Amino acid sequence: MEKGRSFETIVGTLVLLVAIFFFHYVYSRSSWKGMDGYYLIAKFDRADGLAEGIDVKISGVRVGKVASLELDPSSFFAVVKFYVSEKVKLPNDSSANVASEGLFGGKYLSITPGGSKEFFNPGDEIEDTSGPLDLESLLGKFIFSSSEK
């Protein structure tokens, strides 16, 4: 009986160590941990698909993450606060839009850098924004426009 229990103890310890290693690996590769950098704000008429922790990308490369989304009660715009890596200095005429990773893929916040020689400061707002493309509306317009002919 002693041999069986010691074997179970060894196997249990190994399983626990593997689980700890797995969670550490996932945590180190995920957006759960904090982000070093500075935050910016962007207001959208629609922010469908965005959520806290979603990637912020420039040219398809992750440079930050969305920190929070809230509704501006006076304008009814979605206010998105996001962090950008301190290594990335964004020109103050950059634009932001809600993009999709594919036809059925997830959403992310895409930043298109401008050409200005001046840069955003922490807490600044990106003025030039556009919400996500609404495929259902486009498909409906296409179907109804082709049926009218």
Encode pLDDT of 108-137 as tens digits: 999 999 999 999 999 999 999 987 766 666
Residue 62 is predicted with a pLDDT of: 93
pTM beyond 0.75, yes or no: no
Number of domains in the chain: 2
CA distance 87 to 54: 19
Q: Are residues 94 and 77 in the same domain?
A: yes
With residue 16 as reference, give the H or E element that holds it: helix 2-29
At 17-61, the pLDDT tens digits run 998 888 877 766 665 455 678 999 999 998 888 899 899 999 999
For residue 92, give the DSSP letter.
T
139 located within any domain: no
Q: What is the pLDDT of residue 25?
A: 76
For position 3, what pLDDT does the model report? 62
**Whether residues 59 and 92 fall in one domain:** yes
Task: Fill in the amino acid letter for 94.
Answer: S
Residue 1: domain span = 1-30
Distance CA 86, CA 79 (A): 22
Strand partners, 115: none
- The pLDDT tens digits for 66-81 are 999 999 999 999 999 9
**Do 45 and 116 belong to one domain?**
yes
Please tell me what DSSP assigns to residue 49. Answer: T
CA pair distance 50, 144, nearest whole angstrom? 29
Domain match, 42 and 112 both: yes
141 inside domain: no
